[in-house]
């Protein structure tokens, strides 16, 4: 007679999370103490099959060290958090295995941050195999496709791929589906002063407004010109004209801000009038009082034919149709006589 096997049932239920104590309670013994539901164990390296979804603890995921984004919109993250609370994470994050129970994020930084804000302990992921270069490349491509990067973040990401992984501009352009000239123009932005870069990153100035500043070697002069362009809401063509003037006379802006020695001290009310006109017209305005009481000269600066056309419209109340009729004549005006 064969000896009956013992413990087989226990082992079978043990696989379901029930040991001998729990089994005794289940078949009529003393009630077993409640055991808290186990947290999801880290997926073993053998289970990290590429392309197969899995659920892993959020605390075991390390952020992508090649993430090009430096700023995340808090309002947008809050909206994503609310969506995750209601509907869960619909698209799994992409990760790679970097050790036993340790993972590095490839794509899905916003989802990971929002999941943490939502209080999730685990997140769905898909495992990928990637080298450091591929990791940086995939993070950059994801953000470019979503148009999540500002121009400076994009430029830094390109520069990092070029230098750390020794890629040529042609090779990088092929990998991220950009033209070589687009890569070159983007990286050139890093030659601008940090203050000017901040204007671009924050959306204060456009690429067209700041690109002419690359012709100025002095970082200090770049910042002064950028501030002037922003204060006077100059167009890209106006910025080009300003840079041409500064290339001939780097002190032009400083001289424009200093009153001439022959000028008398400006009355406080005249100064207020200058400031109001400057704000209204979006360009520098100076009032020079004459020796005759109640008389003087009003000087309004412009930097391109387009800028002059804009001022004409503001001062004369000319509508767009009338301005179009004057466009050809205004474009014939020489930019060499601009006043700064």
Mind telling me the catalytic residues?
Answer: 109
- 3-class secondary structure, 51: coil
- 3-class secondary structure, 46: helix
Q: Which residue has the tokens 């060499």?
A: 336
Q: How far apart are CA 106 and CA 126, in angstroms?
A: 10
- Give the pairing type, strands 53-57 and 93-99: unpaired
Q: How far is CA 88 from CA 39, 64, 328, in A?
A: 18, 22, 59
| Sign of the torsion formed by the C-alpha atoms of 165, 166, 171 and 173 | positive
Which burial class, exposed, middle or buried, applies to 95 when counting CB atoms under 10 A from its CB (0-12, 13-18, 19+)? buried
Are residues 162 and 172 in contact, defined by beta-carbon separation less than 8 angstroms?
A: yes
Tokens matching residue 262: 């022959």
Find the Cα–Cα–Cα–Cα dihedral 212, 217, 219, 221, rounded to 10°.
Answer: -70
Q: Who contacts 85 (Cβ-Cβ below 8 Å, separation ≥6)?
A: 118
SS (H, E, C) 182-215: HHHHHHHHHHCCHHHHHHHHCCCCCHHHHHHHHH
């Amino acid at each position: 007679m064969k000896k009956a096997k013992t413990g087989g049932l226990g082992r079978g239920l043990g696989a379901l999370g029930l040991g001998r104590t729990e089994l005794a309670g289940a078949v009529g013994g003393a009630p077993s103490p409640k055991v808290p539901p186990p947290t999801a164990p880290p997926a073993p390296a053998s289970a990290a099959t590429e392309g197969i979804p899995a659920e892993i603890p959020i605390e075991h995921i390390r952020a992508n060290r090649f993430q090009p984004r430096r700023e995340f919109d808090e309002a947008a993250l809050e909206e994503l958090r609310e969506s995750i609370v209601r509907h869960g994470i619909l698209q799994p994050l992409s990760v790679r295995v970097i050790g036993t129970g340790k993972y590095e994020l490839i794509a899905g930084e916003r989802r990971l941050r929002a999941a943490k804000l939502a209080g999730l302990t685990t997140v769905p992921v898909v495992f990928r195999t990637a080298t450091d270069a591929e990791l940086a490349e995939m993070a950059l491509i994801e953000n470019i496709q979503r148009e999540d990067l500002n121009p400076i973040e994009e430029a830094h990401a390109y520069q990092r791929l070029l230098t750390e992984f020794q890629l040529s501009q042609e090779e990088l352009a092929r990998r991220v589906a950009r033209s070589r000239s687009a890569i070159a123009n983007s990286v050139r932005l890093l030659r601008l002063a940090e203050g000017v870069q901040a204007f671009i990153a924050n959306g204060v100035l456009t690429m067209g407004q700041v690109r002419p500043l690359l012709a100025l070697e002095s970082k200090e002069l770049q910042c002064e010109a950028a501030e002037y362009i922003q204060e006077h809401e100059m167009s890209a063509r106006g910025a080009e004209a300003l840079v041409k003037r500064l290339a001939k006379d780097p002190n032009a802006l400083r001289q424009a801000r200093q009153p001439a020695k022959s000028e008398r001290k400006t009355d406080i009310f005249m100064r207020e009038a200058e400031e109001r006109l400057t704000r209204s017209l979006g360009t520098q305005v100076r009032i020079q009082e004459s020796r005759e009481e109640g008389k003087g000269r009003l000087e309004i600066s412009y930097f391109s034919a387009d800028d002059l056309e804009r001022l004409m419209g503001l001062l004369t109340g000319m509508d767009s149709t009338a301005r179009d009729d004057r466009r050809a004549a205004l474009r014939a005006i020489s930019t060499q006589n601009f006043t700064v």
